[in-house]
């Protein structure tokens, strides 16, 4: 028989060959590193039997999907170890998450963090035993009977919820069997590096009315070096925690009176407004107009947009004059009303309409976290209304703008193209046209991207930008969403060159995403040491004694006139204390003034990175002004 490889080449195999045998036929090295396979686009075990004409891709730990399978197998090893150490415990679910996995367990006697060591020891024994992992299937009634035999009531409930007639798969390793779709590694010995990290509580199926289970978190990597690098990164992340630095640098606060509703303090407002000024500068240059739409609009609008039916649980609602209203969770419907406020011709298009809109979304209290997960935030939205012929060029323009923004802050990024989700509006033809348009724009620009199936917005496909920060973490920020649906739902029009009425195409896009969240990312990316142009305080003048105070104030006036954010520390403290405090505040430049500097009209400059120099006051002011104008990295 013949199978088709990822390269498009055909490979001949004996009938009944497995994916592993195919990997061996390609190379021993590939077979040694193989985790699972992708056959006809679906992940399967290496034991999967191939058939004539199958498409085949061997998956390794270099692939994200391979690492997920590796970690999920580790979750099964955890479950087997727990059943050995705590035979009376009941298993529920054990999925893969970012950077690891967890398993939710019902224990007769609660366990603590200290108990994880003996569980890890048992896991090591299972891994060292190199137990083969075998898949088998059962009809639904037999699957239920098997789990009842093992007294796994949570598994029974999961199976009972599956459709009638469905075949259920299990995985067996040694004397342990678990319900699972798979795929898995071929044996437990393939796991080389793992660590159980923490314990938390979690309601069964996420429902607070159900029993509280114990959630054990863990992670696994291809080797010990990668795992050590990961934990080093976590330690560094703790030092950069934006909630901690945000408090120390007096940037923002979250009050009990408004959980999930951030308060920006004076320093934080300087930072936020500086970002907004930059946003306005580049958008004005690129031909965007700015609008502002109401924070609250009536139910009819949200029904027309589809949000009332698709997003209702995340919206705050109220009544005004006995009419239902919703506080906006998104800016787009308001932007559409602005477009419809007057008639448009094809000559007006594209219209690039920006809005720094304050939106509110109901997030569960347990999910709130600093500026990363809030209930109100400023979205740097823009909506572009265009003709079909303008789609590709407009998408390219947005991609270039987003690239400029992320490059300025020193972010690397990768791109994902997200396609139609299950809960969506519109015809297949519209979705196909929209998705093809985004693909063509990315292909024309030579941008590498991965396709994220089924993760688009309910009204259209999208391009997502995932940033990589200074310690290697990724964040999803920018997005470009192509929308054929809302223009139809709102009956939007323009007069074409032929004099007839036509439907515009709409793009939703953000660069920062949420300004609040972007600030949180910047705090951690720079560890609070913002570039000069972005720093709330750019220069701190530190006179050694009161004799230098007049000169310090004179310099302060000159710097403020030049647009520099500067402050004089007039306190009668020792200079060493003043310097240490300024360093804790992460001020880019500290000017130490003694009698010599006053007499010579100079300043002794101490940079935040430790570099020191003595220059004239005029030269220093010119240097800082250039830093600000050029938006340099320091």
Choice among 462, 525, 540, 565 that is catalytic: 462
Extract the tokens encoding 418: 């997200």
- Delimit the domains of the chain by residue range: 2-60, 65-234, 246-525, 539-630
CATH of domain 65-234: 3.30.980.10
- 494, 346 contact by CB (below 8 A): yes
Q: What is the mean pLDDT of residues 354-374?
A: 93
Extract the tokens encoding 84: 């050995």
Per-residue confidence band for 216, with pLDDT thresholds at 50, 70 and 90: very high
The whole-angstrom separation of Cα 143 and Cα 546 is 84
The whole-angstrom separation of Cα 326 and Cα 183 is 44
Express the helix, strand and coil content of the chain in percent, nearest 5 each.
40, 30, 30
**pLDDT above 90: residue 207:** no
Q: What is the pLDDT of residue 365?
A: 85
Q: Which residues of 252-263 are buried (b: 16+ CB within 10 A; e: fewer)?
A: bebeeeeebebe
Per-residue confidence band for 426, with pLDDT thresholds at 50, 70 and 90: confident
pLDDT tens sequence across 271-295? 999 999 999 999 999 999 999 999 9
Helix (H) or strand (E) holding 455, with range, is none
| Mean of the per-residue pLDDT values of the chain | 94
pLDDT tens sequence across 163-188? 988 889 999 999 999 999 999 999 99
Q: Is 430 helix (H, G, I), strand (E, B) or coil?
A: helix
Q: Which residues pair with 67 in a beta bridge?
A: none
Choice among 72, 283, 383, 473 that is catalytic: 383
What CATH fold (topology level) applies to the domain 539-630? Rossmann fold (3.40.50)
What CATH fold (topology level) applies to the domain 246-525? BirA Bifunctional Protein; domain 2 (3.30.930)
**pLDDT above 90: residue 364:** no
Choice among 36, 332, 376, 477 that is catalytic: 332
- 11, 5 contact by CB (below 8 A): yes
C-alpha 111 chain-centroid distance: 32
HEC assignment per residue over 153-199? HHHHHHHHCCCCCCEEEEEEECCEEEECCCCCCCEHHHCCEEEEEEE
Q: Is 531 helix (H, G, I), strand (E, B) or coil?
A: coil
**From residue 129, how far is each of 80, 177, 485 by CA, in Å?**
13, 16, 56
* pLDDT over 90, % of the chain: 85
Q: What is the mean pLDDT of residues 40-51?
A: 95
Q: What is the mean pLDDT of residues 393-399?
A: 93
Whether 381 is catalytic: yes
pLDDT tens sequence across 468-486? 988 888 898 999 998 888 8
Choice among 54, 104, 178, 381 that is catalytic: 381
Which 8-state DSSP code applies to residue 571?
S
The whole-angstrom separation of Cα 74 and Cα 68 is 10
Written out in words, the top-level CATH class of the domain with range 2-60 is alpha beta
Q: What is the mean pLDDT of residues 422-451?
A: 87
What lies within 8 Å, CB to CB, of 543 at 6+ separation is 549, 551, 552, 568, 569, 570, 593
**Cβ-based neighbour number of residue 164 at 10 Å:** 7
Per-residue confidence band for 8, with pLDDT thresholds at 50, 70 and 90: confident
Q: What is the pLDDT of residue 601?
A: 94
What lies within 8 Å, CB to CB, of 407 at 6+ separation is none
Per-residue confidence band for 430, with pLDDT thresholds at 50, 70 and 90: confident
pLDDT tens sequence across 523-563? 999 999 999 999 999 999 999 999 999 999 999 999 999 99
Per-residue confidence band for 206, with pLDDT thresholds at 50, 70 and 90: confident
**pLDDT above 80: residue 413:** yes
Whether 250 is catalytic: no
The whole-angstrom separation of Cα 483 and Cα 477 is 19
C-alpha 285 chain-centroid distance: 28
Q: What is the pLDDT of residue 269?
A: 98
The angle that helices 391-408 and 266-285 make with each other, rounded to 10 degrees, is 140
Q: What is the pLDDT of residue 490?
A: 95
Q: Which residues of 342-356 are buried (b: 16+ CB within 10 A; e: fewer)?
A: eebebeebbbbbbbb
**pLDDT above 80: residue 623:** yes
Whether 310 is catalytic: no
Choice among 90, 473, 508, 586 that is catalytic: 508
Whether 502 is catalytic: no
What lies within 8 Å, CB to CB, of 392 at 6+ separation is 437, 440, 441, 444
Whether 508 is catalytic: yes
With 0-12 CB in 10 A as exposed, 13-18 as middle and 19+ as buried, what is 443? Answer: exposed
Whether 379 is catalytic: yes
Please give the sequence-ordered ranges of beta strands (E in DSSP) within 29-118, or none if there are none.
34-39, 42-44, 55-60, 90-91, 96-97, 100-106
Extract the tokens encoding 118: 């003996």
- 516, 485 contact by CB (below 8 A): no
**pLDDT above 80: residue 458:** no
Q: What is the pLDDT of residue 248?
A: 96
What lies within 8 Å, CB to CB, of 355 at 6+ separation is 290, 291, 292, 293, 331, 334, 335, 379, 381, 382, 383
Extract the tokens encoding 40: 């006809």
What lies within 8 Å, CB to CB, of 147 at 6+ separation is 153, 155, 156, 159, 179
> Beta strand pairing status for 539-543 and 566-568?
parallel
Whether 625 is catalytic: no
Q: What is the pLDDT of residue 424?
A: 83
Choice among 83, 195, 215, 361 that is catalytic: 361
Q: Which residues of 209-240 are buried (b: 16+ CB within 10 A; e: fewer)?
A: eeeebbbbbbbbbbeeeebeebeeeeeeeeeb
């Amino acid at each position: 028989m013949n199978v088709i490889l990822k390269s498009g080449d055909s490979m001949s195999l004996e009938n009944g060959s497995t994916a592993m045998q195919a990997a061996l036929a390609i190379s021993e090295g590939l077979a040694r590193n193989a985790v699972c396979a992708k056959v006809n686009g679906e992940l399967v075990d290496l034991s999967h039997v191939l058939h004539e004409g199958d498409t085949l891709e061997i998956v390794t730990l270099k692939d994200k999907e391979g690492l997920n399978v590796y970690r999920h197998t580790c979750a099964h090893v955890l479950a087997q170890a727990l059943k050995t150490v705590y035979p009376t415990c009941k298993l529920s679910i054990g999925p893969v998450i970012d950077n690891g996995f967890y398993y939710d367990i019902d224990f007769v006697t609660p366990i603590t963090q200290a108990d994880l060591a003996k569980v890890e020891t048992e896991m090591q024994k299972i891994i060292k035993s190199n137990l083969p992992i075998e898949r088998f299937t059962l009809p639904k009634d037999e699957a239920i009977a098997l789990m009842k035999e093992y007294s796994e009531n949570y598994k029974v409930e999961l199976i009972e919820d599956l459709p009638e007639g469905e075949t259920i798969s299990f995985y067996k390793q040694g004397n342990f069997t678990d319900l699972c779709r798979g795929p898995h590694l071929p044996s437990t010995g393939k796991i080389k590096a793992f660590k159980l990290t923490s314990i938390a509580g979690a309601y069964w199926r996420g429902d607070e009315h159900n029993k509280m289970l114990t959630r054990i978190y863990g992670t696994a990597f291809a080797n010990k070096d990668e795992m050590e690098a990961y934990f080093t990164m976590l330690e560094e992340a703790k030092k950069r925690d934006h909630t901690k630095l945000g408090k120390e640098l007096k940037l923002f606060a979250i009050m009990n009176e408004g959980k999930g509703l951030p308060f920006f303090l004076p320093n934080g407002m300087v930072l936020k407004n500086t970002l907004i000024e930059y946003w306005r500068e580049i958008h004005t240059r690129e031909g965007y107009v700015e609008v502002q739409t109401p924070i609250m609009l009536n139910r009819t609008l949200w029904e027309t947009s589809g949000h009332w039916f698709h997003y209702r649980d995340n919206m705050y609602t109220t009544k005004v004059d006995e009419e239902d209203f919703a506080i906006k969770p998104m800016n787009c419907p308001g932007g559409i009303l602005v477009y419809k406020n007057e008639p448009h011709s094809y000559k007006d298009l594209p219209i690039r309409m920006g809005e720094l809109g304050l939106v509110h979304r109901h997030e569960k209290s347990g999910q709130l976290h600093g500026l990363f997960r809030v209930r109100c935030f400023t979205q740097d939205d823009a909506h572009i209304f265009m003709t079909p012929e303008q789609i590709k060029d407009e998408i390219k323009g947005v991609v270039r703008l987003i690239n400029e923004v992320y490059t300025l802050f020193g972010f690397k990024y990768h791109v994902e193209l997200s396609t139609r989700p299950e809960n969506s509006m519109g015809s297949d033809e519209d979705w196909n046209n929209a998705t093809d348009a985004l693909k063509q724009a990315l292909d024309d620009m030579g941008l590498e991207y991965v396709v994220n199936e089924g993760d688009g917005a309910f009204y259209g496909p999208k391009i997502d930008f995932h940033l990589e920060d200074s310690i290697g973490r990724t964040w999803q920020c920018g997005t470009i969403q192509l929308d054929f649906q809302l223009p139809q739902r709102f009956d939007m029009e323009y007069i074409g060159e032929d004099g007839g009425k036509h439907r515009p195409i709409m793009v939703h896009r953000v660069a920062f995403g949420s300004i609040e969240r972007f600030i949180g990312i910047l705090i951690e990316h720079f560890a609070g040491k913002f570039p000069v142009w972005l720093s709330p305080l750019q220069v701190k003048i530190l006179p050694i004694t009161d004799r230098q105070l007049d000169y310090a104030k004179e310099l302060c006036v000159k710097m403020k006139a030049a647009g520099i954010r500067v402050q004089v520390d007039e306190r009668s403290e020792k200079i060493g204390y003043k310097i240490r405090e300024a360093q804790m505040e992460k001020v880019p430049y500290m000017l130490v003034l003694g009698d010599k500097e006053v007499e010579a009209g100079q300043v002794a400059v101490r940079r935040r990175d430790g570099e020191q120099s003595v220059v004239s006051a005029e030269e220093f002011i010119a240097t800082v002004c250039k830093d600000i104008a050029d938006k340099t990295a320091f």
